[in-house]
Structure 1
Amino acid sequence: MNHLITFAGLFLLMSVQPIMASEADNCRQCHIQIVDEWRTSQHARSMLPATPDNVLGNFSHVRFFSEDVEAKFYRQSDRYHVRLTESGQTSNWTVRYTFGIYPLQQYLIETGDGKLQALNIAWDSRSVDAGGQRWFRLDAAEHQRPENPLHWRGVYQNWNGMCADCHSTAFRKGYIPDTDRYESHFEQINVSCSACHARANTHAQAARSGESQSAGADLSARGAWLTGTLEHKPQHTGPLTSTKQVETCGRCHSLRTRLDQSPAGGLNNHYSLTRLQSPLYYADGRVREEVFVLGSYLQSKMHEAGVVCSNCHNPHSGKLLLAGNALCSQCHAAPSFDQPHHHHHPQGSPGAQCVSCHMPETTYMQIDPRREHNFTTPNPVTSRQSDSPDPCLACHNDQNREWSIQQMSFLWPEHRERSDWFEIQQADLPTMVRFIADQQQVALYRASLLEQQAGTIGRVAPKIILQQLQSPDPLMRESGWKAATNLQPSDLHGQAMIGLQDTHLNVRLAAFEALMLAGALPSKPTRVRAEYEAYLQQQSDRPAGRTLIGRYARISGDSAVAEQHFKIALEMDNAYLPAYILLTDLLRNQQRFVDAIASLNNGLDQLPENSSLWHLRGLTWLQLKKHEEALGDLGKAARLAPDNWLFSYRYALVSLRLGHIEQAQQAAVTLSEIAPDNPQVKALLKEIQAKKQNKPL
């Protein structure tokens, strides 16, 4: 029975069974070895019809229990079904597709309106010895209620909007926002040849006619690497590899936002890469949430040196080129590095493996360990300061951070801890500005820092933002325009048409949005407005997209449409903070204070520890002249966000106006610590002191 397949047998099965009639069959007429390698890959099995050849899970009337969920998996003829009981409600579902293959296989269920949803109970396809061959649950128990957006039928588990773009080839979402339905389609169900080689089909047709046409961008690794030792670094010889390879792989192996429906668009053009922001990354740049590989890799010395994906991975099978330390020894000479005098662990032990220290693992989806790709050395002091995992403690889990710091000093006394990203975030503003301007620094660090510090830089050093609008790197130009929302409209007039006519879509959209928010859009019509509206349409099946549409409608003067979309966003996700904030702002602006309070009450039911919502409700109570209620909420906001000077300032100011001088004095102590040079804070402190002494100002 297929649910008893072992890991070794799994790859045998993958190699001998035909995937399905596809463009790969055409390609195999010439590229036999490459296609046969691909057929053993995860890409080939990224998504397939739920047939006996493809389903690994045990559907022989087995039952699964977890908290308030019961599932019965069964098969009728060649169709696979799930009888699901949740919170006392029972429903029957048919599995349409398999999703992935190892170390787990998920199952897609059609729930109506063209929606495919990823079931929250998956099959562990590892061997029995590894703990597999079982059903297990992917989500937390609190997500099991259907109204929760993380429930398997919720917006964040929707295949059409969250998964399909990378698991199928030439996918078009086809979302219809007015009816909340999809008319999605793809050209190939899995990750096939043209997912990477954009003109593969044209190339194949030309070959059959005896002609020669390119299959797309040149993705091959060029040149060679001379191994490095302790005395000198590895050296690349020959022509450099095109950046297209990393961009092509990174298009899916990254956390990014798709900006249009281009079937094979480029990164930093048709896709916008997520920056190194919390909580996605730790403060030292280590991966925290499921952001995949590219954001980590772009931080690395490997990327800076010109190493590309296929230097380590077979791009068609997905397997590593060599096993264990032999892979790293292609460039880093084994006599120098694969020795106890370097790694200080018994030869052949887990601690002696290069990846244990330089590519530590994080497990996602319960059983899927994935390795870091920034190739750093263990930095236990920085790990402690940034609260990121210490690689040493992954093995030595009976020890603590202090032990790790001591061991590092003892075993590698000459080791100097270095974390460019962590250190620059602790620097003073002039140092940050110089870092952003320095094109020799990692671009992703510079872009992330610029966006992170945009508010302060916009006030103190606006020229550095304007300079980035002219950067040769589209990543920096995009971040420059995102930061430009903190500039004066007059600063942007000379840059407007340059940004709106940029060759990269991500930059044009960022420029349009910045100019729109600043009220500095030129009167001359441009194509970018249509591109921006198409981008909003592309995102409209998610709460974030609906919120952006609402903001756009409000700026365009249509408050009714704006309110409608903010509310739709909250129907999709009743804990989506930006929608609450923008809806509250709209209602307060219309003097609908009671409605604003009702909306904020809903928000605080979902997000009881969110300081911004407490602060907004406090301000709204003030507008209703409910002073004591306002004071309570403003105080709560200040306590929840002690580093936010504005929250403490407003709490102190209202306390003072209501005659609570001691409360105002206590809040002023916090203010004097976090914003000692702020002129508003200085004036308030002076007023409080005068009140205490009964002196006129």
Structure 2
Amino acid sequence: MKKWVVLIVVLGALVGLGTMMKAWMERRAGTGVQPAVFTGGSEHWDQNEVPVSMQCGACHEKEFRQWAGSDHAWAFRKLGDQWESEAFHNMKLSAHGSVLQFSTDGQGRTVHDGQANTSWRAEWATGRIPLVQYLVPAKDGGYHTLSAAWDVNRKEWFDIFGKEVRQPGDWGHWTGRGMNWNTQCAWCHMSLFHKNYDPVKDRYASTWKEPGVTCIQCHGPLLDKPEAGTGCMISTKNKLTPQQIHDNCASCHARRDEFDHDFAVGDRFDDHFQLVLPVQPGVFWPNGMQRDEDYCETGLRLSRMGKAGVTCLDCHDPHTGTLKLPQEDNTLCMRCHGTGEAVNGVKAPVIDISKHTPCPQPTMGARCVECHMPESLYMARDPRRDHSFNSPDPLLSVELGIPNACTMCHRDKSNEWAAEAVKKYYGPDPKMAKYRDRTRAVQHAYEGKEDVLPLLMECFRKEEVGAWRATLLDLMDSWAHEPAVQELAAGAVNDPDALTRAAAAKVMGRANNPSAGKLLNDPLKVVRLQAEWALRDSLPPDSPGMKELTAAALHQADQPSGAMKLAQIAISRKDARAAEQWFAKALKWDATSSVVHRDYAVFLASQGRSGEAVEQMREAVRLAPRDANLWYLLGLGQIENNDEPGALQSFDEALKIEPAFIRALFNRALLNEKVGRLEQAIQDLENCSSLDKENPDIPFTLAVMLYRNGRYRDAAAAAAETLRREPRHAQARQILESASRHGK
């Protein structure tokens, strides 16, 4: 009997061992039915909502726990009593001319808008500290993000736009397209998100794999079944480079436009996104510092740190998202700058903190980050550090109004005091002086100063940082028809920086330079799209370039900007009906945008509908009365409608706003002559000539006007000035000879 018992036990053990071996073999082969999952507890809001990441946690427990308490893990979550009970306990907020009330009932959390007398059910939350925003469903199958946010520390509601008033119907109101979660927020708050917008139905059917930024968003690609040999749901064969990892971070931590939702781990950022550079006022400061909500990537690309190869993970832990070392005592920065340690092959300059700053140790002013990464508030209450790593230069604050870290700390002192302190400590030619001309050039380009082009070109030629070359070249777009600018752009076709090549395509396209076609086959989409846009009038409808351009625009078709692009593409295809339909959508979605009304007016004028065009331009001027160019365009439209008094008034308004507006002066001069105001016309052209001392067309026009009105001696002088500017000007020579004979 005992022998049978022993035999049964042995057989049972063998069966158990066989089962274990089978399970082990199935796991190695990737055929197991039930993959192992993380079974412990964590700081995650509900780890059962991230089943794929739970599988990762089975083997990578330490990393899973670190991630579970991070802002990435809490980037998107369901609502819960432990977090929302106080915020939705009959709280109120007055904003945008209305009173919002937040309450809880048996169905969940409710937001009531008193002005619209409408209630919404809050369904999701984004963020955790220092603020939380809530999502409510929209009629189009998407979600809207409230501009009202809950301050976790102060225990109160506030509006992220501060005192700025946004009305229902505005693109930027929280019920408008500007606060549509599916387009504006979701890709960076979800894992493997796809917008799935249907432009015909104007509806969303968005999908995602896991809420929040989980394992599969930063590691990949996600496999259909566990990997053979490891059981991992993410391939372990792909070893990413530091730049690939950085591009993955940048896909969210950047102010950018999307071309698609196809970005995958290991892809190039510039193949899926257009990074926003400091090429227009109000977004960045002209030295590259963040001004609006700009995130990190642009600043880093503009910086010498970025050029040296510093990436996110040199300073930040990939799983907690926190800093690897303390910043308060400069340990983080001095890890490299105290030792000269090489980062990605580039040695950091060694800095002696005791001599590097006039601020005494261990005050806040002696912290590296306080000077080179000052904090600013965004979303009204969210402090974020600048990543352009600028050195504070109070002299430029005095000249251009740029903030500097000195007076951001010493709030009781003036910029003049700070500038003198910097000069006294560092001498008359400090290191930051090297970048002053570049900053001045950018600011003067913002202001439209006609004489800034030589400085822009000089700065471009000596610039080492690719993103700055792209910025400077893009700012030359206003002078795209200048041969020297075209020469620079053509030379940038082979620039190693993708954004510089893209800027070259834009500038060449503006002047119909066929050299832009060389970039249609660029390896990166950010360059190809710019070339395709520049050459869209000549691209066949079924060409790869036109298809790629249209696909990128369709990805943005749920926003006014995308609708405007599709309208322009339709114009290129000579499909006026489709263009009008897309313009109508843009006007519906952003009725308070002067740009939409302006571009629609230009389209109407091209269709011979000048009366409608003027009405659209009048609306544009009403919405942006301080925009001189809109008044100028209105004047041109009024000339088409034979409204000469109205056109003169519009040109006058443009010149009140911008007295050196040469095109407005020039056209007013022609109109003044037409209505019999010859002296005013001559004065306008003389003012044009003094503002632009190189353009031969201005004195030539003056010569023709004077000659036509019998002012031969003056006409001869104007013709002579034309020939001084352009010695080969045959018509000017004819006027000079004829006027000289008449003058005798």
Equivalent residue runs for 1:660-679 within 5 Å: 660-668=677-685, 670-679=687-696
CA distance in 1, matches of 2:296, 2:99: 35
CA distance in 2, matches of 1:380, 1:250: 30
Query: Is 1:415–2:444 an aligned residue pair?
Result: no
Match among 445, 457, 468 for residue 468 of structure 2: 445
Q: Is the 8 A contact 1:641 1:647 kept in 2?
A: no
What is aligned with 2:346? none
Alpha-carbon spacing, 1:672–1:95, altered in 2? closer, same or farther (3 Å): same
Match among 636, 644, 667 for residue 619 of structure 1: 636
So what's the TM-score if we normalise by structure 1? 0.86
What is aligned with 1:154? 176
The alpha-carbon deviation at position 249 of structure 1 amounts to 1.2
Alpha-carbon spacing, 1:536–1:210, altered in 2? closer, same or farther (3 Å): closer
CA distance in 2, matches of 1:382, 1:56: 49
What residue identity is the alignment partner of 2:280?
Answer: S
Match among 163, 170, 188 for residue 210 of structure 2: 188
Query: Is 1:537–2:546 an aligned residue pair?
Result: no
Query: Is 1:28–2:28 an aligned residue pair?
Result: no
Query: Is 1:366–2:380 an aligned residue pair?
Result: yes
Bigger shift: 34-43 or 468-477?
A: 468-477
Q: Is the 8 A contact 2:56 2:233 kept in 1?
A: no
The alpha-carbon deviation at position 682 of structure 1 amounts to 1.1
Structure of greater Rg: 2
Match among 315, 318, 322 for residue 319 of structure 1: 322
Q: Is the 8 A contact 2:480 2:508 kept in 1?
A: no
What residue identity is the alignment partner of 2:590?
Answer: D
The alpha-carbon deviation at position 184 of structure 1 amounts to 1.1
What is aligned with 1:463? 487
What's the secondary structure of 1:500's corresponding residue?
helix
What is aligned with 1:479? 503
What is aligned with 2:220? 198
Equivalent residue runs for 1:228-267 within 5 Å: 242-264=242-264, 265-267=267-269
The alpha-carbon deviation at position 557 of structure 1 amounts to 0.8
Q: Is the 8 A contact 2:259 2:552 kept in 1?
A: yes
CA distance in 2, matches of 1:560, 1:212: 48
Structure with higher helix content: 2
Match among 519, 539, 546 for residue 499 of structure 1: 519
What is aligned with 2:295? 292
Match among 247, 269, 279 for residue 277 of structure 1: 279
The alpha-carbon deviation at position 383 of structure 1 amounts to 3.0
Alpha-carbon spacing, 1:530–1:486, altered in 2? closer, same or farther (3 Å): closer
What residue identity is the alignment partner of 1:398?
Answer: D
Q: Is the 8 A contact 1:379 1:418 kept in 2?
A: no
The alpha-carbon deviation at position 429 of structure 1 amounts to 5.3
The alpha-carbon deviation at position 352 of structure 1 amounts to 2.0
1:246-294 deviation per Cα after TM superposition (whole angstroms, max 9, x unaligned): 2121111111111123042531111111222122112222221111111
What is aligned with 2:160? 138
What residue identity is the alignment partner of 1:115?
Answer: G
CA distance in 2, matches of 1:300, 1:376: 7
What is aligned with 2:364? 350
CA distance in 2, matches of 1:209, 1:405: 61
The alpha-carbon deviation at position 470 of structure 1 amounts to 3.0
The alpha-carbon deviation at position 296 of structure 1 amounts to 0.5
Q: Is the 8 A contact 1:551 1:582 kept in 2?
A: no
Alpha-carbon spacing, 1:66–1:554, altered in 2? closer, same or farther (3 Å): closer
The alpha-carbon deviation at position 694 of structure 1 amounts to 5.2
Bigger shift: 206-215 or 673-682?
A: 206-215
Alpha-carbon spacing, 1:321–1:566, altered in 2? closer, same or farther (3 Å): same
The alpha-carbon deviation at position 692 of structure 1 amounts to 8.8
CA distance in 2, matches of 1:528, 1:117: 34
What's the secondary structure of 1:268's corresponding residue?
helix
**How many matched pairs?**
648
What is aligned with 1:547? 564
The alpha-carbon deviation at position 40 of structure 1 amounts to 1.3
CA distance in 2, matches of 1:255, 1:351: 29
Equivalent residue runs for 1:18-167 within 5 Å: 18-22=46-50, 23-53=52-82, 55=84, 58-66=87-95, 68-77=97-106, 79-86=108-115, 89-126=116-153, 132-139=154-161, 143-167=165-189
Question: RMSD of aligned C-alpha atoms?
Answer: 2.9
Structure 1 alignment gaps of length 5 or more: 1-12, 127-131, 220-241
Match among 302, 306, 311 for residue 308 of structure 1: 311
Q: Is the 8 A contact 1:143 1:150 kept in 2?
A: no
Alpha-carbon spacing, 1:211–1:650, altered in 2? closer, same or farther (3 Å): closer
CA distance in 1, matches of 2:408, 2:233: 55
What is aligned with 2:723? none
The alpha-carbon deviation at position 340 of structure 1 amounts to 4.9
1:140-175 deviation per Cα after TM superposition (whole angstroms, max 9, x unaligned): 556442112111101111101111121111111111
Q: Is the 8 A contact 2:227 2:234 kept in 1?
A: no
What is aligned with 2:18? none
CA distance in 2, matches of 1:353, 1:202: 48
1:164-205 deviation per Cα after TM superposition (whole angstroms, max 9, x unaligned): 121111111111122221111111221111212122556954
The alpha-carbon deviation at position 620 of structure 1 amounts to 1.5
What's the secondary structure of 1:94's corresponding residue?
strand
What is aligned with 2:575? 558
Q: Is the 8 A contact 1:51 1:78 kept in 2?
A: no
So what's the TM-score if we normalise by structure 2? 0.81
What is aligned with 1:634? 651
CA distance in 1, matches of 2:299, 2:622: 36
CA distance in 1, matches of 2:86, 2:636: 54
Bigger shift: 330-339 or 350-359?
A: 330-339
What is aligned with 1:7? none
Q: Is the 8 A contact 1:203 1:214 kept in 2?
A: no
CA distance in 2, matches of 1:337, 1:663: 62
What's the secondary structure of 1:581's corresponding residue?
helix
What residue identity is the alignment partner of 1:278?
Answer: Q
The alpha-carbon deviation at position 678 of structure 1 amounts to 1.7
Q: Is the 8 A contact 1:539 1:546 kept in 2?
A: yes
What's the secondary structure of 2:114's corresponding residue?
strand
Alpha-carbon spacing, 1:83–1:300, altered in 2? closer, same or farther (3 Å): same
The alpha-carbon deviation at position 96 of structure 1 amounts to 1.0
1:189-231 deviation per Cα after TM superposition (whole angstroms, max 9, x unaligned): 2111121212255695445548994264525xxxxxxxxxxxx
Query: Is 1:568–2:596 an aligned residue pair?
Result: no
What residue identity is the alignment partner of 2:622?
Answer: D
CA distance in 1, matches of 2:352, 2:69: 31
1:313-347 deviation per Cα after TM superposition (whole angstroms, max 9, x unaligned): 11111111122122112122299857554323342
Q: Is the 8 A contact 1:47 1:168 kept in 2?
A: yes
Bigger shift: 380-389 or 628-637?
A: 380-389
Percent of residue pairs identical: 27
CA distance in 1, matches of 2:625, 2:480: 32
1:463-516 deviation per Cα after TM superposition (whole angstroms, max 9, x unaligned): 332232233433232222222213445x33xx63x5333322222222222222
